Amino acid sequence: MRVGRSFGALLSATLALSACGAPLPMPLAESGPAEVIVADASFLADLQPGPVLTISRETPMGNAEGKLAKDVAQQFCASRGSRVDPQAFGHFVGGAWVFRGGCA
């Protein structure tokens, strides 16, 4: 009987350790910069603690591109099973669009 208990304990420990090796989903605020393709153009979505979602691209975005930036933000959040926070109001800052509230 003692061998059976040892085997059971070993099996339990092995299963517990194998579960530790499984990758866990990364929280939204720690996902870091990610490329998002919209209308054949490449953008960078960067979600940081706060949460604050910044949408940029290689060439500076314009003040009139708020709708495009929001579309990029929506696609980014949707790819993570979320959506843009409805309270997030976009601000144009230094060639990028910033959405405070990030993904909801």
What is the reported pLDDT for 55? 97
Let me know if residue 92 belongs to a domain.
Answer: yes
Please give the model's pTM, rounded to 2 decimal places.
0.70
Amino acid at the residue 9: A
Domain tally for the chain?
Answer: 1
> Which domain, by its residues, includes 69?
28-100
**Domain for residue 13, yes or no?**
no
Please check whether residue 1 lies inside any domain of the structure: no
Rounded Cα gap, residues 84 and 104, in angstroms: 6
Q: Indicate if the pLDDT at residue 24 is higher than 70.
A: no
pLDDT of residue 50: 85
pLDDT at 11 exceeding the cut of 50: no
- Those residues with Cβ within 8 angstroms of residue 44's Cβ, 6 or more apart along the chain or in another chain: 33, 34, 35, 36, 54, 55, 56, 57
In-domain check, residue 45: yes
**15 within domain boundaries:** no
Q: For residue 4, is it within any domain?
A: no
Instruction: Please report whether residue 71 resides in a domain.
Output: yes
Please report, for residues 12, 20, 21, 55, the alpha-carbon distance to residue 7 in angstroms, rounded to integers and kept in the order given. Answer: 9, 20, 21, 54
pLDDT digits (tens, 9 = 90+) for 45-93: 999 988 899 999 999 999 999 999 999 999 999 999 999 988 788 999 9
